[in-house]
Structure 1
Amino acid sequence: MEKTWFDKIFRDSNGNIVIAQPPNLPIIVWGVASLLKLILTSGLISVGLDLIAFGSLFTWAWLELFQGVNYFRRMLGFVVLVGFVGLRIFSYDTI
């Protein structure tokens, strides 16, 4: 049986449709660091939390881009990676 475009984009190797998954460690670390950064808004702790949040989201996007279970997840990783890095570059440009 030939796979359709829908199958190639949204199905994993087991034939399951995968759009969302339970959060993995990099997403959990990003969420916790981002929330803590909202509470601790100044000083070296805030800078450290910002670095941790950026690094963990970058890691998640990189893993999705190269090890995503389907083309949708890989595209999602690409969009987040390009968008997040782009936002960081432009936010430093305005300083």
Structure 2
Amino acid sequence: MKNTLFDKIFRDSNGKIVIAQMPNPPIIVWVVASLLKLIFPTGEINLVLDWVAFGSLFIWACLELFQGVNYFRRTLGFIVLIGVIASKTVGIDALSLF
């Protein structure tokens, strides 16, 4: 089998094309914290949930960047990491983008 650019970008070490995977714990924590922020839109609980969501998405992005199964997943981790850092720097809420 030829090792093409497509293979390097989208295939894992077993030769399977991997674009999406089952959610891992940091993504699950991010989703739950983000949804809870909708229920608690103000106050200290919202602030704590905001940091939990930020931290879990930051951890997920780092894991994908350094341990992703292919170049696509690593690039996705890099893009999300830059976005998460930029959102805290500029003050954009990640949920407001959707």
Q: CA deviation at 1:91?
A: 1.2
1:2 to partner: Cα distance: 3.4
Task: Give structure 1 stretches of 5+ with no counterpart.
Answer: none
Instruction: Look up the SS of the partner of 2:91 in the other structure.
Output: helix
The Cα offsets for residues 4-52 of structure 1, whole Å up to 9 and x where unpaired, read as 0000000000000000001010000000000000110111111100010
Q: Which runs of 5+ in 2 are unaligned?
A: 93-98
Which amino acid in structure 2 is aligned with residue 55 of structure 1?
G
Structure 1 match to 2:95? none
Q: Percent identity of the aligned residues?
A: 67
With the length of structure 2 as denominator, give the TM-score of the two structures: 0.90
Q: Root-mean-square deviation (CA), in Å?
A: 1.1
Amino acid at match of 2:48: G
1:89 counterpart residue number:
89
Count of aligned residue pairs for this structure pair: 92
> Residues of 2 paired with 1:56 and 1:87: CA distance?
14
1:78 maps to 2:73: no
Q: Distance in 2 between matches of 1:45 and 1:26?
A: 19
Residue equivalent to 1:56: 56
AA matched with 1:90? V
Regions of 4+ moved over 3 Å: none
SS in 2 for 1:20: coil
Question: Normalising by the residue count of structure 1, what TM-score does the alignment of the two structures yield?
Answer: 0.93
